[in-house]
Structure 1
């Protein structure tokens, strides 16, 4: 039944996609982020839905009257340079066969990220994309939160198998990134029951993140909460709410959860933590030796034999930063950090130029919540191999579109003021 339902939804969306490529991007994001086909058990689990939607979206874009150019933004240019650099490093990959297989997957993500930046241009498009992102991941937050309550926090929360967020650590980080997005939707929703439902989804997502038993998630959610609180207009009420909810959530979790979190301070005795540090040393040494890095997928015995302090402890990078460093060298890491920095700076620009303007309140709220989401990603990503996780790239597209909209609004307002001055004082008109 689930297979049939998913198939009907996706194939039923094709006429809408062909009518407007924005619908294709929204459907692509839903498939790539939520992976609804993984919730089935039959033919839909392996059916190439994403490929079909991508082809339909590209065809719709090519045949539509929408602009075919990317928005002018330092974020866009930096992402393009990073993509080109990834192609260069692939040519010099240590393990060509596995590198090309991963290259194919990553380039599809990057292509659709650029398409998203190309077609998401209006406030309505931005809002719809935020709903799709928040609901796609919020589904697992609500599901995981209820599972944690039912099990008393004893069993771990896992994500959909075979996806970016299948591991317990990865689903935890994804949910932490989702909480600020849900908060934005709550702020922009008028219905009382809808606001209450989004609030419940936020709490359940936080509980699901704790129920993942991810130590990195604990650090990430703490950082994200601090940023959300610092950007709130009601700091006292927020502090009181956190003072009530945080202790309750921590007290709810069993002793084994507390023991695992306590191991953060004694990481030297933890095999998993030491394995990650060994992988970080390997990535650092490899990047110093190879200007182009090792290319995609370097978690291979030969790489660890050549560059790791412990050649027998083979681990994935478990860090977006060391993953970029090991796979694409210091240049790749610099480009990725620049991309994150430009995104943060653009979000700060939006928040600053929207503050105190009622017609742009939505943009100010959106920018600050995306900043909180990126803080969670930046902290939690330090311990996970999620360099190619697509959600941050979609959020970059949202920031680019929102900045363009705010800039246009400012331009229109300046011209309106100038027109009023000229009508009142003809002498100020330019010859």
Structure 2
């Protein structure tokens, strides 16, 4: 039941029926969803967590830190509390609902399906089927495709969303897939996403799509294949991008009025980071620029930053940006170095990496720092991390029980006359019943743990090969990497301001 609610919320987030379905406009549906989800997890839960508890991974602790930091630095406590609390709760509920690899896989498939649903709604508006009022909105955007929902009411947002389907569908349906998946489902997904992205004419979306497709031939490939792919991408790939809509203007980006306006907003945001080390407050930064049009001067024109990192940096300062990047880093670390044991797990691992990479790159071109998508991505990576830690704990307990069984209880002493009694091992030890090998009643109900215990018995290690504990605590490496990432963001930020 809780997993179905996770899928329902994903549908609600992407389709946003309250924006275009008659009778739902203005209704606050978030609180009822949260309340129902919590009740289901507490009372009607169908599958317990493989790692019970709310604060069991670095992802959990960093998310709590992020929430506390935002509340500590905000000048508008009531607004920030209601907004960031719901995002944090959705993170926790999603983590608690993704309790097995099969659930994570189905969640990713549903994620892909919901983006395709958005793409279908957008394409249908081009032939007169327009439930969201997309036609008028598209016309106001100089013919660049948009739909009438808050999340995708501009072509850049729509483009950056749908391009993720291109590599994601490949991993879910084509890579080691069935015949129907490879030659029917994948081509349909690729066409819908590609056609929608083409109609948005979003230069940033084209770059993200090209980059994530490139990753498909880098992640998990032989070194020679990786190098060859990168070389081809830097030559043929870059030349091919010039044939996409509006990409021919990439060379004169410094004269693009839209880019100039964004850079002016970036400069104001950078000033805010220097004057306010902890930021101006959650969602408080507003860039107001002066714009000259011929002989007329327009004052205090609102201008969006169109960048997640710039927005987070201005609102929350360098410390808040550090936490934001730390959450991305631990999510990458959880899946990047994960050793999977099946094609299903490897498929999920690569898909999560692609979604994370798309979010990181898109963050430089659109502002989604506070969007639910970010928190759901961290939740999926956190769920994978919980499964990894639970697997280790199950194997560790299994091996300890096996060693105790081999040694035999100390009070039995040596075997008596070589006689084997009922229930004995025949070697002087007593054979324990199967229940003695259980980790706990709570863990026994978990599908992953049954598989983990069986695997531990099949891959029994010698004492010279101790079971290696997975990373599950923030260390100097994590702090150092996040500091380097924060420095890199500010360096790129300053470079763009200086060059443009």
TM-score by length of 1: 0.75
- Cα 1:396/1:184, change in 2 over 3 Å: farther
Name the CA distance, whole Å, in 2 between partners of 1:366 and 1:78: 23
Q: 3-state SS of the aligned residue for 2:149?
A: coil
Tell me which residue corresponds to 1:29.
10
Tell me which residue corresponds to 1:371.
353
**Alignment pair present for 1:55 and 2:43:** no
- Cα 1:252/1:38, change in 2 over 3 Å: farther
267-276 or 223-232, larger mean C-alpha shift: 223-232
Tell me which residue corresponds to 2:165.
178
Structure 1: segments with no counterpart, 5+ residues:
1-19
Determine if contact 1:299/1:315 at 8 Å carries over to the other structure: no
Deviation string 1:213-260 (CA, Å, 9 cap, x unpaired) is 212112211211111221265969x97xx99x989997986xxx2xx3
Name the CA distance, whole Å, in 2 between partners of 1:25 and 1:208: 26
1:392 to 338, 349, 374: 374
2:146 to 153, 158, 178: 158
- Cα 1:249/1:105, change in 2 over 3 Å: farther
1:221 to 206, 209, 218: 209
Measured after TM superposition, the shift of residue 321 of structure 1 is 0.5
Alignment RMSD (CA, Å): 3.9
Alignment of 1:350-365 (within 5 A): 350=338, 353-354=339-340, 357=341, 360-365=342-347
Larger relative helix fraction = 1
**Alignment pair present for 1:339 and 2:327:** yes
2:266 to 263, 267, 280: 280
Name the CA distance, whole Å, in 1 between partners of 2:306 and 2:123: 25
Structure 2: segments with no counterpart, 5+ residues:
129-134, 136-141, 291-297, 409-426, 428-461, 465-500
Determine if contact 2:308/2:364 at 8 Å carries over to the other structure: yes
Alignment of 1:13-412 (within 5 A): 20-40=1-21, 42-64=22-44, 66=48, 69-70=53-54, 72-91=56-75, 96=76, 101=79, 104-144=82-122, 155-162=143-150, 164-187=151-174, 192-195=179-182, 196-231=184-219, 257=245, 260-300=246-286, 312-350=300-338, 353-354=339-340, 357=341, 360-409=342-391
Name the CA distance, whole Å, in 2 between partners of 1:340 and 1:124: 23
Determine if contact 2:146/2:200 at 8 Å carries over to the other structure: yes
Measured after TM superposition, the shift of residue 269 of structure 1 is 0.9
Tell me which residue corresponds to 2:414.
none
283-292 or 360-369, larger mean C-alpha shift: 360-369
How many equivalent residue pairs? 381
Name the CA distance, whole Å, in 2 between partners of 1:119 and 1:369: 19
Name the CA distance, whole Å, in 1 between partners of 2:305 and 2:327: 20
Larger radius of gyration: 2
Deviation string 1:31-52 (CA, Å, 9 cap, x unpaired) is 1222244453x11344434332
Measured after TM superposition, the shift of residue 404 of structure 1 is 2.7
- Cα 1:423/1:270, change in 2 over 3 Å: same
Deviation string 1:134-190 (CA, Å, 9 cap, x unpaired) is 111121234446777999xx942214422x232211111111233333333215896
Deviation string 1:388-431 (CA, Å, 9 cap, x unpaired) is 1222321222222223324444565677788889999999899x
Name the CA distance, whole Å, in 1 between partners of 2:270 and 2:276: 10
Name the CA distance, whole Å, in 2 between partners of 1:411 and 1:298: 44
Determine if contact 2:307/2:365 at 8 Å carries over to the other structure: yes
Name the CA distance, whole Å, in 2 between partners of 1:174 and 1:197: 19
Name the CA distance, whole Å, in 2 between partners of 1:83 and 1:311: 35
Measured after TM superposition, the shift of residue 104 of structure 1 is 3.0
Tell me which residue corresponds to 2:443.
none
Q: 3-state SS of the aligned residue for 1:314?
A: strand
Measured after TM superposition, the shift of residue 282 of structure 1 is 1.0
